[in-house]
A and B are shown apart, each in its own frame.
Chain A
Amino acid sequence: MIRHATPRTSSTAILCGLLFVFAWPFSACVFANPSILLQEEKALQAAGDFAQSSVVRVETFGGREIVEDSAVPAGPSSGTIVDSEGWIITSLFQFRADPPAITVVLSNGERKSAKLVARDYARALALLKIDVSEPLKVANPSPRSTWKTGQWTIALGKTFDLVVASRSVGILSATDRIFGRAIQTDCKISPHNYGGPLIDLQGRVMGILAPIDPGIATEGEVQQWYDSGIGFAIPLDDILVRLPKLKNGEDIYIGKAGIRPKLNDDFRGPVELAGVAPGTPAAKAGLKPGDRILKVGSIDIRWPNHLRHALGVVDANNSVKITVEREGKPIEYECELVKELPVYRTPFIGVLADATYSGSGVMVQSLYKDGPAEKAGVQPGMIVQNIAGKAITTSSDLDRELAFVDYREPLKMTVVKSDKLPEVREVVLTTTPWPDDWVDRIGTKTADQGIAPDVKILKKIEKNNTTGIVPITMGDIPNQVFAFVPPNYTPDVHHGLLVVMPEPGKVDRKQWTDRWEVFCREHRFIVAAVTSADPRTWQREELDVTKRTVQHLKNKYTIDSRRMVIGGMGAGGGPAFVLALQNRSLFRGVWLAESNLPRTLRPPQSEPMESPAMLLQGENPAYPKFVKAVKEMGYRALAVEEKVDLASQAIDVKQQKTVETFLRSLEWF
C-alpha cells in the first residue's frame, strides 16, 4: 500500500492532517471489507442518496375507481422535480381516474396541493405544478452519450419514506425501446416508483419511470409487467426539450402519418404504401398508394419497423421529410404528423348502378331519396363517366375511385345524359357518410340483374353448371361445407357471396335452400355454409377453412367483389367476425346473429376499400354499445334488436328480410 502511495505523497502530504479527522471514524467502514460487492453497495447507495431529494411522493384523492373496465390504482406514487420552481414530472397512469385532488409531498415532509398542467400521451407522463416558497433541488440529467447496455441503473421512488427514496438496483437492458421513446431496465418497476427517476451509478437522472404502452401486439397489459424485470423509463432530455410546451399546458401526442405498409410483416421491405386514406397527413403530403418509402429524415427505411422507429420520436404537429420512390425516382415530401388521423368513412353518393348496362361508365338505375346524387340533380339513366378527375369505365372503377374520396370535401362528377345523345354535364356532390336510416329505405328498388360482368373476367371463367346445393370438398378438412348456387346462375353475371359460419351442429340443407332460393335468384347471390368440425364448438384453426372456402368459390364462380359477405350465427359469429377483420379487403360486409363478440379483438381504424359494413342482429345487450364504438371508427354498422332462433339453423322470414336488405345495401354507391 505504501508503495502505491509514495509517488503521490508530496501532493497529498498537506491533506493528511485534514484527512485524518474525516477518515478516522469511517476508516473501518471503508476498509473493513475489500469485497467489490460492498464497494458497489456503497457506490449505489451514494448514488441514490445523491438523487433522492429531487424525488417526491404524489398522491391522488378520490376519482372514478374503474376506468375502461380496469381498476385504477389509488395509492400514492412518485414524481421527479424537473424545475426548481415547483414543476414535477410524474407518470400519467395515476390520473386516468381524474382525481379531484392531487398532492405532492416533498422530502421535507411538506405537503403541497398540485395542479395537473399537461399530459404527454406519447410518453405516458404528466406535468404537475406546485407552489414553492423556495427553489427545489432539480434532478441532474445523465449524459445520453454515456449510456451502455449493462451499466448500473437504480430506480427511485418515494411511496415508502419521504427522505430515503426506495431503490431497486438493476442494469440498463436496452437503450432504444418503444420506437425510440423509452429505455429499458431490469430494475423492479412498479407503481411505487412510476414517476420516479431511473439514475446511473453517478446519481444522475437518466429518465423517468413510466408504464408506457409498447404499442405492439404482445403478451398481457404493460401494467401487469410491474416487477417483472421489464421496465421502461423516458429519457430525461426528451422530457426537458418538451418542458416549455408542457408548462404552457399543451398536451403532447404521438404523431400519426397515416402510412399503411402493404405487407403486414414488420421486418420485410420495401415499405410500399397500401392505401392512403383521404385526409391523412400522408395523403395531404401527396403520398400515393404504391409509393416505396426510402427515407424518413436521414434514416433509411428498409422495413416497417424502421419506419415506426423513425416516426416514433416525432410528436403530433411536427413535420418530417419523407423520401419515396415513385416510378423509379426518389421524391421528397414534407409531412406534418397529426394527433388523430381523420376517421375514414366510405363516401355515400346514393346511386344504384344499372347492372344490365354494359357500355362504358356506370349507368344510374335509381337514386337514394335526398341523397347527394339526387340533390345534385343526377337522374336515373344518366351515365357516370368521371369522378374527381378519374375516368370511370366500370362499376369497379367507381367503387375504387370513390373509396379514396374524402367525404368532407365536395366531389366533382361528370355525367352524360345517355350514351346515345351525349350531353356532358359537370355536377358537384356534397358526399356524406352512409346515412343511418338505410335499412328502412334501401330495397324499394333493386338491381335485379346483379352487376354486369367485366369483359376481361368473362374470358377467364370456364362455364360452370353446378347449381342448387353444391357440396364443397377440400380434401384434408373434416368440416361439412356446401353452397347454394341459384339455378339461374351464369358465369357472365357477377354474383354476391355470403359465407355463413352457423351455430355448431347439424345444418339442414333443405331448409337453407328454401330460405335463400328466392333471394339468391332475384339478387344473384351464392350462399355458402361452413359447419364446424366439432359439433359442440368452433376451433380457431377453422377460420382458415372458411377463408379457403371463400377462395374456392371465388375461383370457381363469377363473384362480385363488392358483395362478399361473411356471416356468423351464435358461436359461429365470433370466428366470422375475426375473419372479417383479418381480411378487410376481402369482405365488404359481416353479419352476426345472436353471437358474442370476441372481447379481445379491437377493430382497426376503417380504411379505403377496407371498411366492411356490419349488421349485428339479435338481442345481445352488448351490440348497441359495440356498434356505437365501431361507427366512431368509421365503419357502417347497424344493430337490429330482433330475436334470432339459432335452433333452426336458418332464420325466419322477418329476420331474413333484414339480412337481405343488408346484402342489397352493398350494391349501392
Chain B
Amino acid sequence: MINESYYPSVIPMWNRFLSFSSTLVARVIGQVLGRPIVRQPGMLPIGFLINFVLISLVQVLHAETETSTTPSEEVLQAEKVRIAAIQKATRSTIGVFGTDGQGGGSGVIISNDGYALTNFHVTDPFGDRMRCGLSNGEMVEAIIVGIDPTGDLALIKLDGRNDFPSATIANSDTVRAGQWCFAAGNPFVLATNLQPTVTWGIVSGVHRYQYPSGTILEYTDCIQTDAAINPGNSGGPLYNADGDLLGINGRCSFEKRGRVNVGVGYAISINQAMLFLGHLKSGRLVDHATLGFTVGNEGGKVVVSNILETSDAYRRGLRYGDQILRLDGREILSVNQLKNILGIFPTHSRLALQFRQEGKVIDTWIRVSPLHAIDELAEIAGGKSGDAPPDHDDEKKGDDKAESEEKKDTPDKLLETQYEKRRGFTNYHFNRRELDRVLAFSKRAEPDAKVPIREWSWTGKLAGETTNYSVKSRTQTIESKLGDETATIDQQRGWNELIKTKSYHAISLGMRLWEQWIIDGPKKLGETTYIGTTRIIGHDKLVDLTQVTIGEVEVFFHTDPSDGRLLLIEIESDPKLDRLEVAFDRYEESSNRDVPGLIKAGFGPEPRWLIELEKPVVKEVSSAVSL
C-alpha cells in the first residue's frame, strides 16, 4: 500500500464526515420525495420511444408495471424456437476425456447405440480408451473404433446403453453462408458439471479449403463460422438453427491472440463425415484418396499438369493438358475446388469425371487410389496401427494403489470385450462386427449350418442377341460357354490370365463367386475384410464393400445394406489393370432364394456384356461323388 503513506492522517476522518453528511442529505431528499426519482437518459433513441409507446399500450391493455420491456410475440417466439433447438441438439453433445478424466475435447453422438464422432486430434492423445460426459451429467466409458488422421475424424463408441440421444443429421451440401448456426462443446474444459457451452453465430463461408497444418490434418470443403470456437470445442458439433448436425468443429484461424477465438472457426462438413462413416466403422486406419494426376491453373482453366500412366484416370483416357470440367458432378474452377471435392471421399471411391480433350467433352468414372501407404498412416496415427505392442508397463504395478485399482474395474472390461489390435486397424473388433452384419444376410438364405456340395448351372443369352451363355460350376471346375466357345476354368488357378486377357469367360468367375458368397460366405475363400460403404455406378445409395483376397486376386463384393443382395463383384488381378466387373440385377425369387435375372459384365465402367439369365438349376450331389 504505497499510496497510503502519502495520505495525511487527518484525511480519512475528513472523508467520513463528508460522506456521512452527504448521505444524510440524500436520505432527507429521499424522504421528501417519498419515492425514488428515476432518471431517464437525456436523448431518447427512436427505438426507445416506439417501445415506450408500445409498453404504455400494453400497460393499458394488461396493466403491467414498468419493470421490464415487452418484446413482440414473434421475437419471443423466435427466442423460444432457438432455445428448443438448442435443448434438442445439446442432448447429443458430449465431452471427451481421457480415462483419468483429464484433458478434454468434444464430440457428438450420431446413433442410439452410441457411435460418436469427434476429431482425430482429440482422441489421439487418449489412445484406445476414453470417457465421455453426456450433457445430462452422466459419465460413460468409450472405446476407439476408427480414425481418419488425414481428415481429422475419429469414430468412438460409447458403452452401456442402446438409447443414447443422437443427433439429427443435416445435409451440409445445402448450407449457405449467412445461415444461423451454433456450436456446442467443452471449450477450455469449463464443463465441470458436463453441461455443454453453446455459442451462436452464422455460417461465414462454405466450401472452404484449409491447408494441412503441421500434421497432415487437411480440411477440405469445410464450413466457416463466426460462432465462438475455442480450444476444447474440437470434435464438437456445429448445428444449424433447427438443431440438426451440420459438421464437426475442429479448426480455427488463430493469430495475434494465441489460441483464443478471433471470429473464425472451421467445421468438417457432416456430409464428408457420412461418406467416411462406413470406413470408420470398419475399425481400419482410414485413408484419403488421390486421383493419380495433378492439375494446374492455366488461363482460368484447371488442366492436367501431370498424370500417372498406371492411374485409372489414364486408362479412362485422361491425358496431359486436358481440362477438368467436373468432378463428382461439381464444376471445377480452381485447384482448391478439386482438392475440396477429392478430400471428402475415402479411398476405394469411384468418382464421375468430366473433362475436355481437344475440344470434345468426355464423361467417365475414375477409381481413386490410396493417399498413403498403411505404414505411413500408422506412423501418423502414432503407432495406433496395431502392430505396436500394448504398452502395459509392469514397472508401474503397485505404483499408486488407488489408481491402479480404479483402473481395473470398468475400463479394462471394455478393452477386453470390444478391442482387438491388428496391423492396419485401429480396432479390429469392429471390423468383425461389420462383417457379421453384412454376412448375416447370406446366412439367412441357408439356415442349416452343414452345407452339402452343389452343382449350379445357369443358362441365358446376351441381351438382344441370340448368342447363348451357360455356366456350370462343379466343385473343382467352372464350365463356361458363350456361343459355341467353351472354357473350363480351374477353381483356384488361372484367374489372373482371364482378367488380364479380358476374356468374357471371366464372367463365369463372377457367377461362381456369387454362389460362394450366398452359400458359404466369403470367409472360406480367403482373408475377408469389411472396407466400408461406397457408391457404385447406377446406385444413389451407399453400398457395403467387402474385400476378399482369393489366391492371386483381390475380390470386391458390393452388397445392398438393406437386404444384403450382391449388387456388384469386382475382381482385380493387378491394380494397373482394369478390374472385371460383374453387376447383378433383376433379382427374383427362386427356390426360396433371390437370384439375379440380368448380369452386366465388363472391364471398366461401361459394361461389355449384358446377359439375361434363366433361373439357375441347383443339383445336390452327395459328397462321395465329388473328389
Verify that A and B bind, or say they do not: yes
Q: Give the residue of A15, A36, A171, A303 whose beta carbon is less than 8 angstroms from that of B78.
A: A36
Interface residues of B in 17-54 (CB under 8 A from A): 18-19, 22-23, 25-27, 29-30, 33, 36-51, 53
Residues of A within 8 A of B196 (CB): 174
Which chain A residue shows the least CB distance to B86?
Answer: A150
* B37→A135 contact, CB < 8 A: yes
Residues of B within 8 A of A216 (CB): 189-190, 192
- Does B406 touch A at the CB level, under 8 Å? yes
Q: Give the residue of A224, A263, A305, A552 whose beta carbon is less than 8 angstroms from that of B406.
A: A263
* B51→A134 contact, CB < 8 A: no
Interface residues of B in 225-268 (CB under 8 A from A): 227-228, 230-232, 257-261
A162, chain B: closest CB distance, angstroms: 9
Q: Which of B392-400, B487-495, B550-558 contacts A (4 or more CB under 8 A)?
A: B392-400
Q: Give the residue of A149, A170, A229 whose beta carbon is less than 8 angstroms from that of B86.
A: A149
**Bound Cα distance from A328 to B69, whole angstroms:** 56
Q: Which of A176-184, A636-644, A649-657 contacts B (4 or more CB under 8 A)?
A: A176-184
Interface residues of A in 126-158 (CB under 8 A from B): 129, 131-138, 140, 148-152
Residues of A within 8 A of B85 (CB): 150
Residues of A within 8 A of B577 (CB): none
* A309→B50 contact, CB < 8 A: no
Q: Give the residue of B15, B87, B188 whose beta carbon is less than 8 angstroms from that of A225.
A: B188
Residues of B within 8 A of A308 (CB): 192
**Bound Cα distance from A547 to B72, whole angstroms:** 65
- Does B139 touch A at the CB level, under 8 Å? yes
A20, chain B: closest CB distance, angstroms: 12
- Does B149 touch A at the CB level, under 8 Å? no
- Does B466 touch A at the CB level, under 8 Å? no
**Bound Cα distance from A76 to B483, whole angstroms:** 95
* A149→B87 contact, CB < 8 A: yes
B179, chain A: closest CB distance, angstroms: 13
Residues of A within 8 A of B232 (CB): 219
**Bound Cα distance from A116 to B476, whole angstroms:** 97
Which chain B residue shows the least CB distance to A308?
Answer: B192
A307, chain B: closest CB distance, angstroms: 11
* A204→B67 contact, CB < 8 A: yes
* A268→B406 contact, CB < 8 A: yes
**Bound Cα distance from A171 to B78, whole angstroms:** 13
**Bound Cα distance from A129 to B197, whole angstroms:** 35
**Bound Cα distance from A564 to B231, whole angstroms:** 39
A98-B1, A551-B399 in contact; A135/B36 too (CB < 8 A)?
yes
**Bound Cα distance from A49 to B41, whole angstroms:** 9
B106, chain A: closest CB distance, angstroms: 13
A135-B36, A140-B68, A265-B406 in contact; A174/B45 too (CB < 8 A)?
no
- Does B6 touch A at the CB level, under 8 Å? yes
* B26→A29 contact, CB < 8 A: no
- Please encode chain A, from 405 to 434, with 1 for each CB lying within 8 Å of some chain B CB and 0 for all others: 000000000000000000000000000000
- Please encode chain A, from 14 to 25, with 1 for each CB lying within 8 Å of some chain B CB and 0 for all others: 010001001100
Residues of A within 8 A of B399 (CB): 547, 551
A108-B39, A268-B101 in contact; A15/B57 too (CB < 8 A)?
yes
**Bound Cα distance from A84 to B30, whole angstroms:** 10
A36-B78, A201-B71 in contact; A179/B192 too (CB < 8 A)?
yes
Residues of A within 8 A of B617 (CB): none
Residues of B within 8 A of A149 (CB): 83, 86-87, 90, 195, 198
Chain A, interface SS category = loop
- Does A558 touch B at the CB level, under 8 Å? no
Residues of B within 8 A of A47 (CB): 69, 71
- Does A464 touch B at the CB level, under 8 Å? no
A150-B83, A218-B190 in contact; A133/B25 too (CB < 8 A)?
yes
Interface residues of B in 103-154 (CB under 8 A from A): 131, 133, 139
A86-B26, A135-B36, A150-B86 in contact; A163/B192 too (CB < 8 A)?
no
A85-B26, A137-B39, A228-B260 in contact; A184/B197 too (CB < 8 A)?
yes
* A184→B190 contact, CB < 8 A: yes
* B402→A39 contact, CB < 8 A: no
Q: Give the residue of B30, B42, B68, B199 whose beta carbon is less than 8 angstroms from that of A50.
A: B68
Which chain A residue shows the least CB distance to B36?
Answer: A135
A510, chain B: closest CB distance, angstroms: 28
* B83→A53 contact, CB < 8 A: no
Considering only CB atoms and an 8 Å cut-off, how many residues of chain A contact the other chain?
92
- Does B432 touch A at the CB level, under 8 Å? no
- Please encode chain A, from 99 to 136, with 1 for each CB lying within 8 Å of some chain B CB and 0 for all others: 11000000110000001000000000000010111111
A131-B19, A150-B86 in contact; A100/B72 too (CB < 8 A)?
no
Which chain B residue shows the least CB distance to A274?
Answer: B402
**Bound Cα distance from A264 to B79, whole angstroms:** 41
A171-B200, A201-B76, A224-B260 in contact; A135/B30 too (CB < 8 A)?
yes
- Does B306 touch A at the CB level, under 8 Å? no
Q: Which of A43, A53, A266, A268 neighbours the largest number of chain B CB atoms within 10 Å of its CB?
A: A43
Residues of A within 8 A of B406 (CB): 263, 265, 268
**Bound Cα distance from A266 to B99, whole angstroms:** 11
Interface residues of B in 382-409 (CB under 8 A from A): 393, 395-396, 398-399, 402-403, 406
- Does A438 touch B at the CB level, under 8 Å? no
* A305→B192 contact, CB < 8 A: yes
**Bound Cα distance from A267 to B101, whole angstroms:** 6
**Bound Cα distance from A179 to B193, whole angstroms:** 8
Q: Give the residue of B49, B74, B133 whose beta carbon is less than 8 angstroms from that of A26.
A: B49
Q: Which of A62, A132, A178, A555 neighbours the largest number of chain B CB atoms within 10 Å of its CB?
A: A132
- Does A249 touch B at the CB level, under 8 Å? no
* A220→B50 contact, CB < 8 A: no
Q: Which of A135, A164, A216 neighbours the largest number of chain B CB atoms within 10 Å of its CB?
A: A135
* B131→A230 contact, CB < 8 A: no
B230, chain A: closest CB distance, angstroms: 6
Residues of B within 8 A of A474 (CB): 395
Which chain B residue shows the least CB distance to A585?
Answer: B400
A220-B260, A263-B406, A268-B101 in contact; A134/B26 too (CB < 8 A)?
yes
A40-B75, A203-B69 in contact; A23/B53 too (CB < 8 A)?
yes
* A202→B69 contact, CB < 8 A: yes
- Please encode chain A, from 44 to 78, with 1 for each CB lying within 8 Å of some chain B CB and 0 for all others: 01110110110000000011100000000000000
**Bound Cα distance from A170 to B101, whole angstroms:** 31
- Does B9 touch A at the CB level, under 8 Å? no
- Does B82 touch A at the CB level, under 8 Å? yes
- Does B10 touch A at the CB level, under 8 Å? no
- Does A30 touch B at the CB level, under 8 Å? yes
A-B pairs with beta carbons under 8 Å apart, 27 shown: A22-B53, A26-B53, A49-B47, A53-B38, A86-B23, A86-B26, A99-B3, A115-B19, A133-B25, A140-B67, A148-B87, A149-B198, A150-B200, A163-B41, A163-B42, A171-B82, A173-B199, A174-B190, A174-B191, A214-B188, A220-B188, A228-B260, A268-B406, A305-B192, A309-B192, A309-B193, A555-B395
> A263-B403, A474-B395 provided; 20 other pairs, C-beta below 8 A?
A49-B45, A49-B48, A85-B27, A86-B26, A98-B1, A129-B19, A134-B37, A149-B83, A186-B200, A186-B228, A204-B67, A214-B190, A225-B188, A228-B260, A230-B197, A230-B261, A263-B402, A268-B139, A548-B395, A555-B395
Q: Which residues of B contact A (CB under 8 A)?
A: 1-3, 6, 15, 18-19, 22-23, 25-27, 29-30, 33, 36-51, 53, 57, 60, 67-72, 74-76, 78-79, 82-83, 85-87, 90, 97, 100-102, 131, 133, 139, 182, 187-200, 227-228, 230-232, 257-261, 393, 395-396, 398-399, 402-403, 406
Q: Ordered nearest first, which 7 A-B pairs have the shortest CB separation? A: A229-B228, A131-B22, A202-B68, A150-B86, A135-B36, A46-B51, A43-B71
Q: Which residues of A contact B (CB under 8 A)?
A: 15, 19, 22-23, 26, 29-30, 36, 39-40, 42-43, 45-47, 49-50, 52-53, 62-64, 84-86, 98-100, 107-108, 115, 129, 131-138, 140, 148-152, 163-164, 170-171, 173-179, 184, 186, 201-204, 214, 216-220, 224-225, 228-230, 262-268, 272, 303, 305, 308-309, 474, 547-548, 551-552, 555
